[in-house]
């Protein structure tokens, strides 16, 4: 039976906008809610809920004070003078620079973190075991550095908040964004209480150029970072293989107390910034697998959805993900023909990647030693 899903959303999210000509525009937060209500008007499937923006105290769980102070001042229209502009490279990469006045971008970034906080509360307390954060997944941001269109890392916040507020000892983070979650990885690289599984396009071929198989964590966290770099053009069959051979077995052995997932539409074959080959059915499959893994922890899952760089695909893929997570039917109509197969070459390359992952991690996980 379909469940009632909490969807964290506020209109102010549209302020997370880097301006004309930038790949990350805030209109995605207007496009998707309209698309959702058009395709699934029955409100018994979901409820929109509002969260408060993160406070400075909240942000200090994941960021250094000077970074918060600079970002708060810089991303305000009245403070884009020479003083702040000259300091920008100390705290952010060039792709985080707005094209024009940013308005309330930083306030929207705080809202994204606030939504993650409320979603965690809802899931842990059981009021809404599954909660979706629209706008989440800012997985490139680090404690003192923003990059890749990410200002504050809501994924890292969720992991640390669950540790601090609820004392959870086994948190599984699954990152299915096409880009490796280099920021999130850095936060938990030495932490055995967080199993970070990152499924992304081969970093030899895509930003941020990290997320390789041999990067497995350090110290007590060694073996708890799992990178799964997919070859370009990997499609549904490749994703299914990786879930069956690596992700699901790891989840069963780890026995998480809660599941966090982030990632939007950019693994789709029509995305403008990436080179993967997932279809809408593949996105639904990811949602279904997340639902299966959440059953290991009483159904508790927080889903953070924000990425995607094709306006036509973005709402379709987001809805496909949510439909799989919450187990409700929606039409999955591709706007363009699915690319022809390559005779299995990419699938064979993916099998080789899986073999290498098992070889590297078999000493840490019994399920990968079989």
Spatial separation of the C-alpha atoms in residues 110 and 151, rounded to whole Å: 9
The pLDDT tens digits of the residues spanning 23-63 come to 999 999 999 999 999 998 767 789 999 999 999 999 999 99
So what's the pLDDT on residue 290? 98
Q: Selecting from 3.30.1300.10, 3.30.1360.10, 3.40.640.10, 3.40.800.20, what CATH number does the domain 5-368 have?
A: 3.40.800.20
Residue pair 261/130 in contact by the 8 Å Cβ criterion: no
So what's the pLDDT on residue 278? 98
The pLDDT tens digits of the residues spanning 180-223 come to 999 999 999 999 999 999 999 999 999 999 999 999 999 999 99
The pLDDT tens digits of the residues spanning 273-288 come to 999 999 999 999 999 9
So what's the pLDDT on residue 15? 95
So what's the pLDDT on residue 80? 58
Residue pair 198/262 in contact by the 8 Å Cβ criterion: no
Q: Which residue has the tokens 């708890």?
A: 224
Of 80-89, 242-251, 302-311, the one with minimum mean pLDDT is 80-89
Spatial separation of the C-alpha atoms in residues 87 and 120, rounded to whole Å: 34
So what's the pLDDT on residue 1? 46
Q: Which of 195, 108, 185 is nearest to 149 (CA)?
A: 108
So what's the pLDDT on residue 109? 98
Query: Active site residue: 92, 140, 179, 268, which one?
Result: 140
Residue pair 134/7 in contact by the 8 Å Cβ criterion: yes
Is 343's pLDDT higher than 90?
no
Residue pair 187/62 in contact by the 8 Å Cβ criterion: yes
Average pLDDT over residues 166-179: 99
**Average predicted confidence (pLDDT) for the chain:** 95
So what's the pLDDT on residue 91? 97
pLDDT band at 83 (very low <50, low <70, confident <90, very high): low
So what's the pLDDT on residue 277? 98
Residue pair 325/1 in contact by the 8 Å Cβ criterion: no
The pLDDT tens digits of the residues spanning 144-158 come to 999 999 999 999 999
Dihedral of CA 36/263/88/68: which sign?
positive
Helix residue spans in the chain (DSSP H): 28-39, 56-59, 65-74, 82-91, 105-125, 154-166, 182-188, 236-242, 248-254, 280-294, 313-326, 345-361
Spatial separation of the C-alpha atoms in residues 212 and 197, rounded to whole Å: 12
Active-site annotation holds for 45: no
Is 3's pLDDT higher than 70?
no
Residue pair 256/266 in contact by the 8 Å Cβ criterion: no
């Amino acid at each position: 039976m379909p469940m009632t899903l909490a969807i964290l959303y506020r209109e102010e999210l549209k302020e997370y906008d880097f301006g004309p000509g930038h790949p990350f525009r805030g209109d995605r937060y207007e496009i998707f809610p309209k698309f959702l209500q058009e395709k699934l008007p029955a409100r018994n499937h979901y409820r929109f809920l509002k969260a408060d923006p993160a406070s400075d105290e909240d942000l200090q769980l994941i960021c250094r004070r000077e970074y918060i102070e600079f970002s708060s001042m810089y991303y305000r229209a009245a403070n884009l003078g020479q003083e702040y502009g000259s300091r920008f490279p100390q705290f952010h990469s060039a792709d985080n620079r707005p094209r024009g006045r940013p308005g309330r971008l930083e306030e929207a970034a705080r809202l994204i973190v606030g939504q993650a906080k409320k979603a965690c509360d809802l899931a842990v307390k059981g009021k809404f075991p599954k909660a979706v954060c629209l706008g989440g997944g800012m997985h490139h941001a680090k404690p003192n550095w923003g990059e890749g269109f990410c200002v504050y890392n809501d994924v890292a916040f969720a992991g640390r908040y669950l540790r601090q507020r609820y004392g959870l000892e086994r948190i599984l983070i699954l990152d299915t964004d096409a880009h490796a979650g280099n920021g999130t990885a850095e936060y938990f690289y030495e932490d055995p209480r967080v199993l970070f599984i990152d499924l992304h396009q081969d970093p030899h071929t895509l930003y941020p150029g990290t997320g390789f198989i041999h990067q497995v964590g350090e110290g007590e966290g060694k073996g708890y970072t799992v990178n799964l770099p997919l070859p370009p053009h990997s499609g549904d069959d490749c994703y299914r293989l990786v879930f069956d051979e690596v992700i699901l077995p790891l989840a069963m052995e780890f026995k998480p107390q809660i599941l966090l997932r982030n990632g939007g539409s950019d693994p789709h074959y029509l995305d403008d910034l990436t080179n993967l080959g997932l279809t809408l059915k593949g996105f639904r499959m990811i949602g279904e697998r997340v639902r299966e893994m959440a059953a290991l922890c009483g159904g508790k899952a927080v889903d953070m959805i924000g990425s995607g760089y094709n306006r036509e695909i973005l709402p379709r893929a987001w809805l496909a993900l949510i439909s799989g997570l919450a187990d409700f039917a929606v039409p999955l109509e591709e706007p363009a023909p699915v690319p022809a197969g390559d005779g299995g070459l990419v699938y064979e390359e993916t099998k080789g990647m899986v073999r290498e992952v098992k070889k590297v991690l078999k000493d840490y996980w019994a399920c990968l030693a079989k």
